[in-house]
Amino acid sequence: MVIYLAGLQGIPTELYEAAELDGAGKWAKFWAITIPMMSPVIFFNLVMGVIGSFQTFTQAYIMTSGGPQNASLFYILYLYQRAFQELRMGYASALAWILFLVILICTIIIFKTSAGWVYYEGIRGR
């Protein structure tokens, strides 16, 4: 939320004034100015959310240890159990590599889509 607040600050107020002169309502201003101008920040939170979710660990580790019936067994928790409870370091390292590749591919896909919906004022040629 703090990140969004900081992002809101970067939006020039002239854009809103111009839109008001053209008769734009609240929703029109939100969709046509706020969202596009915030898109770099939204993009950041999206990428961070995806990377962070793949690495869900603490909640499951503290609250359930993967139970009941493995219903809350997350990838990293599985990795952690193999590595530090069964001491199968090689297997755990291989798991880590696979997770890394999965996250990397997801991130690259998100980055590829960003050309279509993220607006950077600081990049030329638009």
**113 by DSSP, 3-state: which?**
helix
Residue 123 interacting with another protein (CB under 8 A) = yes
Q: Which of 19, 24, 47, 73 binds another protein (CB under 8 A)?
A: 47
- Measure the CA–CA gap between 62 and 95, rounded to whole angstroms: 21
Find the part of the chain contacting another protein (CB under 8 A) among 22-30, 62-70, 104-112. Answer: 104-112
65 conformational bin, left if phi > 0, alpha if psi -120 to 50, beta if neither:
left
Q: Give whichever of 32 and 99 is closer to another protein, judged by the CB atom.
A: 99
Residues 7-36 that bind another protein (CB under 8 A): 7-15
Residue 71 interacting with another protein (CB under 8 A) = no
Q: Which residue has the tokens 């990838």?
A: 75
Q: Give whichever of 54 and 69 is closer to another protein, judged by the CB atom.
A: 54
Number of H helices, E strands in the chain: 7, 0
Output the CA torsion sign for 21, 27, 28, 31.
Answer: positive
Q: Which residues bind another protein (CB under 8 A)?
A: 2-3, 5-15, 37, 40-41, 43-44, 47-48, 51, 54-55, 57, 76, 79-80, 83, 92-93, 96, 99-100, 103-104, 107-108, 120-124
